[in-house]
């Protein structure tokens, strides 16, 4: 990185630190609107949302606003076993897993075990390096930071017609990490030179999963749980599906893709760092708040570096930082990340509010998943912001 670019990078980090430091308290007065009244309003909003779209098997949500004395979780609909859905039911997080993967990489970077701005070539297995080179990429020109911020130029296998067709043809197929990377090499060409443009890429996060394993000498799930302190945070239900033991007594929510039960789709189709985690909405909210308050990092600058957003690059969708995407929820500036199976995780620093919504249907009827879950998050946010 040249001096000019390094200087700009440090200035952006300083700006991000300032944004977090100056986040003002929300206007809501906990003495005027108590937690019980807020909880009743949140319960009613959840029930109304399910009633408006009968294609949904259920909705689960968590809203945490410590300044208001509010720790609320609610659920409506049915779980996988037909019993009433509860906030304790676990779900596939899909791409929300990327936040955990990125946070693990940033932890390793602040320990000096990884360098965000050095080439990834020495960090890769021979197989992965060979696959990338055969696909027209130069691993000696791609950095960890570019993988984290989706600016590596590597094609996204997960949105390719070839991948979608392969999954639909055999829901039970067990995908390997190498298969995903190999498919990215054949299904599409590089989308640009490293650092040239923003292009959301599951492929990059699958590669990051491998780098975490090779750097720590641990399987991905164990490395992540250790580095991010799952036990200290009380995350007893958060684990990688199939790769980690299932917690005793864990029950699953019912997530649908149209009429297909998501549980019948082999988890390996989205498992290796770009997705793969199972958790509950309360545990996701706990993790996101700890992460975005900087409690998972040793150095204050690590969080700011994690939130650096390459806004000047061409992109078909809003770019986001290594951790999350900036945007508004309710009436606040917030950070968020969504997952394909219906979950969106949001943290609003000004009011110290965490919102996690799982809209358990990829193809709902009256409302699309994207609009449905984000609009519901907006409505939940407005209840606690009033």
Task: Give yes or no for a contact between 172 and 75, defined as CB atoms under 8 angstroms apart.
Answer: no
The SS3 call for residue 43 is: helix
Task: Please determine, for residue 168, whether its predicted confidence score (pLDDT) is greater than 60.
Answer: yes
Question: What pLDDT is recorded for position 4?
Answer: 39
For position 314, what pLDDT does the model report? 66
The residue with tokens 């309710």 is: 330
Closest C-alpha to 323, from 312, 334, 332: 334
Our CA angle for 142, 144, 148, nearest 5°, is: 110
Lowest mean pLDDT among 11-15, 176-180, 221-225, 264-268: 11-15
Among 195-199, 321-325, 354-358, top mean pLDDT goes to: 354-358
pLDDT tens figures, 244-275: 999 999 999 999 998 899 999 999 999 999 99
Task: Please report the pLDDT score of residue 166 as a whole number.
Answer: 96
Rounded CA gap, 41 and 256, in Å? 27
Averaged over 191-217, what is the pLDDT?
Answer: 97
Both tokens assigned to 363: 């193809």
More confident residue, 180 or 16: 180
Q: What is the pLDDT of residue 54?
A: 81
Q: What is the pLDDT of residue 312?
A: 66
% the chain with pLDDT above 70: 88
The candidate with the shortest Cα–Cα distance to 103, out of 223, 271, 231, is: 223
Residue 78: pLDDT over 90: yes
Q: Is the pLDDT of residue 370 over 70?
A: no
Q: What is the pLDDT of residue 74?
A: 98
Dump pLDDT digits (tens) for 108-121.
Answer: 999 999 999 999 99
pLDDT of amino acid 363: 76
Nearest to 350, CA basis, from 328, 373, 370: 328
pLDDT at 72 over 70: yes
User: How far from 59 is each of 17, 111, 119, 307, CA to CA, in Å?
Assistant: 35, 39, 42, 29
What's the pLDDT at 11?
A: 38
pLDDT above 90 for 381: yes
**Mean model confidence pLDDT for the chain:** 90
**Would the pLDDT of 330 be above 80?**
yes
Domains detected in the chain:
28-385 (3.40.710.10)
Higher pLDDT, 7 or 155: 155
Tell me the CA distances in angstroms from 379 to 162, 270, 301, 349, 384, one per residue in order.
37, 30, 33, 18, 9
Q: Is 119 helix (H, G, I), strand (E, B) or coil?
A: strand
Phi/psi for 134 (5° steps) reads: -65, -25
């Amino acid at each position: 990185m040249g001096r000019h670019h390094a200087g700009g990078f440090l200035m952006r980090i300083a700006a991000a630190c300032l944004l977090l430091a100056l986040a003002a308290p929300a206007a809501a007065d906990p003495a005027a609107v108590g937690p019980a009244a807020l909880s009743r309003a949140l319960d009613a909003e959840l029930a109304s949302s399910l009633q408006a779209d009968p294609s949904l098997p259920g909705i689960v949500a968590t809203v945490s606003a410590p300044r208001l004395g509010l720790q609320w979780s609610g659920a409506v609909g049915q779980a996988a076993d037909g019993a009433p859905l509860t906030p304790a039911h676990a779900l596939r997080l899909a791409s929300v897993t990327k936040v955990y993967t990125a946070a693990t990489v940033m932890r390793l970077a602040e320990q000096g075990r990884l360098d965000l701005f050095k080439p990834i070539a020495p960090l890769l297995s021979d197989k992965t390096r060979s696959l990338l080179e055969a696909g027209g990429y130069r691993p000696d020109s791609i950095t960890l930071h570019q993988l984290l911020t989706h600016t590596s130029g590597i094609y996204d296998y997960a949105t390719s017609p070839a991948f979608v067709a392969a999954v639909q043809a055999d829901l039970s197929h067990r995908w390997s990490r190498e298969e995903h990377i190999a498919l990215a090499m054949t299904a599409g060409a590089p989308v640009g030179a490293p650092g040239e443009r923003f292009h959301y890429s599951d492929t990059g996060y699958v590669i990051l999963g491998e780098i975490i394993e090779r750097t720590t000498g641990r399987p991905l799930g164990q490395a992540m749980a250790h580095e991010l302190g799952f036990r200290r945070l009380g995350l007893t239900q958060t684990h990688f599906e199939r790769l980690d033991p299932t917690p005793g007594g864990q029950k699953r929510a019912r997530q649908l893709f149209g009429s297909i039960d998501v549980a019948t789709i082999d988890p390996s189709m989205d498992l290796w760092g770009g997705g793969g985690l199972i958790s509950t909405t309360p545990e996701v909210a706990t993790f996101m708040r700890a992460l975005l308050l900087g409690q998972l990092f040793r150095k204050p600058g690590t969080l700011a570096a994690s939130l650096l957003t390459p806004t000047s690059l061409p992109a078909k969708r809003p770019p986001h930082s290594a951790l999350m995407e900036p945007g508004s929820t309710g009436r606040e500036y917030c950070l968020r990340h969504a997952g394909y199976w219906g979950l969106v995780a949001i943290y609003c620093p000004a009011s110290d509010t965490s919102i996690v919504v799982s809209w358990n249907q990829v193809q709902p009827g009256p409302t699309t998943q994207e609009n449905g879950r984000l609009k519901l998050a907006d409505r939940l946010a407005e209840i606690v912001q009033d």
